Amino acid sequence: MAIRKVLTYPDPFLRQPAAPVTAFGEALDELIADMAETMWDEPGIGLAATQVGVGLQLFVYDLEVSREPDKVRVVCNPVFTVMEGEESDEEGCLSVPGFTAEVRRAARVVLEGNDRHGEPLTLDVSGLHARVLQHETDHLNGILFIDRLSPLKRNIFKRRHKKALARAED
C-alpha cells in the first residue's frame, strides 16, 4: 500500500469525467488499498479515484474511519436510480482543503454499481451515508462540492482561495 498525492482545486484533472471500471482484479485491488490508506492519512471518510489522478469511476469510503481494510466500502460505476427529499449539511473535501460549506443534497438515495470484484451492488441509504455517496459520485463526474454552492458562496470561496495562494507565494 502506498499513500498517493491528493489533487487539489484548481487542478484541471478534478474536472474530467471518469471512465467506467471494466477490469477487476489485482491492479484494481492495489489501487483500492492505496486509496484507503490515502483517505485515512488525510484524514477523510471518502475518496474518489479522480482525486488521486486516476480517471476511473471508483471511490472508497469508511464512515467510521476504522482504518481497517476489510471495513472499507468500494463502489465502481455508480448510478443513482432514486434521489428523494432534500437536506442541507456542512461538507468539506480533501481536494478543497480548509473550506467547508452548507450543501443541499438528496436525503435518501438508491445507488447501483459494482463492488470491487465487479459484482452488482445496490445501496439504499439516507443521512451521512447518502451524502458521502453523492459527494464521491460528483467527483467521478468532474463536479466539486463548491459547484453546488450559491454564486455568492462560491465567489467567497474563490476569493479566499486566491488570498491563500498569494500568502503561500510570499
Residues catalogued as catalytic: 136
Q: Give the separation between CA 97 and CA 5, rounded to whole angstroms.
A: 13
CB 84 within 8 A of CB 39: no
Count Cβ atoms below 10 Å from residue 121 Cβ, excluding itself.
18
Query: Which residues touch 145 (CB under 8 Å, ≥6 apart)?
Result: 91, 92, 93, 96, 101, 103, 135, 138
CB 49 within 8 A of CB 56: yes
